[in-house]
């Protein structure tokens, strides 16, 4: 019995750690939706949710319960397997990236040597959920959404990967924990200052990757009704919703790790080693919500023009300059 325990212990610890991370992330996702509704409400001179629980704090939980108990409708003429599979692809690809992010020095679920590449790979896979649901729904609105998503994700994936190359060059590593350590040792403490161009490109393409306003063309409520998830109902719709917010949290966490110095801060907070990580994460999430409340949606040709004619050349220039500085300094 003890022998079995000894063998199974590392695996068991990993599973428990993964569950804890998932639970915390889910809570964050749930309350990001609450924060979004509250903040946008106040920005638009409204109150936001305030009926369920004190100050509406139980609203996200009520929403989840509502989505769970709703009828699950699968329209006629859909491609059944893919229709069922698509929301899970979105969610799994979005949430798995959390495993490689170092929340603090001693906690990263999987300390992978090519962590940055893993995140890029998973974020490019998450577009399959959108593209497949658009095709499997057998609906014109959903199909147009899927079509838009595939072109958008491929274009902005390039800009995002290129914007992170500057960080890889400066840190000399693709391991996220190493990148944070290299940042702490660098003169500015964060890469957001020397890599300001990369940071700018990353933040914009991250919004496009997660299909949020002002780049939410795949779901554009006003023209495509809801785009790719038009035919989904109940908890299947909920999974897409969850995937979008997971994507938002993951992208913010990557920005915190690669550009804002990860878990390090101006001073240590005893007992809460991940304090600064969370502060930076919340600031970036607020930025996302702020952008959504402020900017109108882009037109499709403007979106493509911005990606290919501005962001990609900018990030290429950034790589060149970073490389030259690395060479001579």
Partner 1 sequence: MEKVLFGYLAFAILASAFLVVFSRNAVKAVLWGLVMFLHQAVLFLTLQAEFLAAIQILVYAGAVLVLFLFVIYLINLREELKWPRFLGTYPLAFLVIFFFLVLAGAGISGFTPASPKGSLSPQALLSQGHTRLLGEHLFREHILAFEAAGVLLLVAVLGAVVLVRRIREEEK
Give the shortest CB-15-to-partner 1 separation in angstroms: 20
Distances in Å between the Cα of 61 and the Cα atoms of 21, 27, 251 are 19, 10, 24
Rounded to an integer, what distance in angstroms lies between the CA atom of residue 302 and that of residue 63?
35
Rounded to an integer, what distance in angstroms lies between the CA atom of residue 120 and that of residue 112?
13
Are the beta carbons of 276 and 269 closer than 8 angstroms?
A: yes
Give the shortest CB-125-to-partner 1 separation in angstroms: 6
- Of 30, 40, 92, 147, the one binding partner 1 (CB under 8 A) is 147
Cα angle, residue 55 at apex, residues 54 and 61 outer, rounded to 5°: 75
Identity of the residue, 151 or 291, whose beta carbon is nearer to partner 1 in the bound complex = 151
Binders in 289-318 for partner 1, by CB under 8 A: none
Q: 43-82 mask for partner 1 (x: CB under 8 A)?
A: ---------------------------------------x
- Of 39, 112, 165, 291, the one binding partner 1 (CB under 8 A) is 112
What is the chain's length?
A: 329
* Binding of residue 157 to partner 1 (CB under 8 A): yes
- Of 132, 206, 217, 311, the one binding partner 1 (CB under 8 A) is 132
SS3 for 78?
coil
Judged by CB under 8 A, the stretch of 2-10, 127-135, 222-230, 300-308 that binds partner 1 is: 127-135
Phi, psi (rounded to 5 degrees) for 185: -80, -15
Judged by CB under 8 A, the stretch of 3-11, 29-37, 51-59, 143-151 that binds partner 1 is: 143-151
Rounded to an integer, what distance in angstroms lies between the CA atom of residue 250 and that of residue 53?
28
Specify the DSSP element, H or E, that contains 176: helix 176-185
* Binding of residue 174 to partner 1 (CB under 8 A): yes
Give the shortest CB-33-to-partner 1 separation in angstroms: 27
* Binding of residue 153 to partner 1 (CB under 8 A): yes
* Binding of residue 165 to partner 1 (CB under 8 A): no
User: Which pair of tokens denotes residue 117?
Assistant: 């590449």
Are the beta carbons of 109 and 93 closer than 8 angstroms?
A: no
Identity of the residue, 98 or 118, whose beta carbon is nearer to partner 1 in the bound complex = 118
Give the shortest CB-69-to-partner 1 separation in angstroms: 32
SS3 for 93?
helix
Identity of the residue, 29 or 319, whose beta carbon is nearer to partner 1 in the bound complex = 319
Judged by CB under 8 A, the stretch of 110-118, 201-209, 262-270, 293-301 that binds partner 1 is: 110-118
For the chain, what percentages of helix, strand and coil (3-state, to nearest 5) are there? 70, 0, 25
Rounded to an integer, what distance in angstroms lies between the CA atom of residue 241 and that of residue 226?
12
Judged by CB under 8 A, the stretch of 53-61, 65-73, 106-114, 231-239 that binds partner 1 is: 106-114
Phi, psi (rounded to 5 degrees) for 163: -70, -25
User: Which pair of tokens denotes residue 163?
Assistant: 């914007």
Identity of the residue, 157 or 244, whose beta carbon is nearer to partner 1 in the bound complex = 157
Are the beta carbons of 249 and 32 closer than 8 angstroms?
A: yes
Residues that bind partner 1 (CB under 8 A): 82, 112-114, 117-118, 120-122, 124-125, 127-128, 131-132, 135, 143, 146-147, 150-151, 153-154, 157, 161, 174
């Amino acid at each position: 019995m003890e022998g079995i325990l000894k063998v199974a212990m590392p695996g068991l610890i990993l599973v428990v750690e993964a569950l804890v991370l998932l639970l915390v992330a889910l809570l964050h996702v749930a309350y990001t939706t609450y924060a979004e509704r509250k903040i946008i409400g106040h920005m638009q001179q409204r109150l936001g949710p305030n009926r369920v629980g004190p100050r509406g704090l139980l609203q996200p939980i009520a929403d989840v319960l509502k989505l769970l108990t709703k009828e699950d409708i699968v329209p006629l003429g859909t491609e059944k397997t893919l229709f069922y599979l698509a929301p899970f692809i979105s969610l799994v690809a979005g949430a798995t990236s959390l495993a490689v992010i170092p929340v603090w020095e001693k906690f990263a679920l999987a300390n992978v040597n090519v962590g940055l590449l893993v995140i890029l790979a998973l974020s490019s896979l998450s577009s399959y959920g959108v593209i497949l649901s658009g095709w499997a729904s057998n609906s014109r609105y959903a199909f147009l959404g899927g079509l838009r998503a595939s072109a958008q994700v491929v274009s902005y994936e390039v800009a995002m990967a290129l914007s992170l190359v500057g960080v890889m060059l400066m840190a000399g590593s693709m391991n996220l924990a190493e990148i944070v350590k290299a940042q702490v040792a660098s003169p500015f403490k964060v890469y957001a200052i020397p890599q300001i161009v990369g940071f700018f490109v990353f933040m914009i393409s991250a919004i496009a990757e997660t299909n949020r306003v002002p780049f939410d063309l795949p779901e554009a409520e006003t023209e495509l009704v809801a785009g790719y998830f038009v035919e989904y109902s109940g908890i299947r719709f909920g999974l897409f919703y969850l995937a979008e917010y997971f994507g938002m949290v993951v992208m913010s966490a990557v920005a915190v790790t690669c550009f804002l110095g990860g878990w390090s801060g101006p001073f240590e907070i005893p007992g809460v080693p991940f304090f600064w990580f969370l502060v930076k994460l919340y600031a970036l999430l607020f930025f996302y919500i702020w952008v959504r409340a402020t900017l109108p949606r882009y037109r499709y040709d403007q979106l493509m023009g911005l990606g290919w004619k501005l962001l990609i050349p900018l990030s290429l220039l950034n790589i060149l300059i970073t490389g030259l500085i690395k060479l001579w300094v």
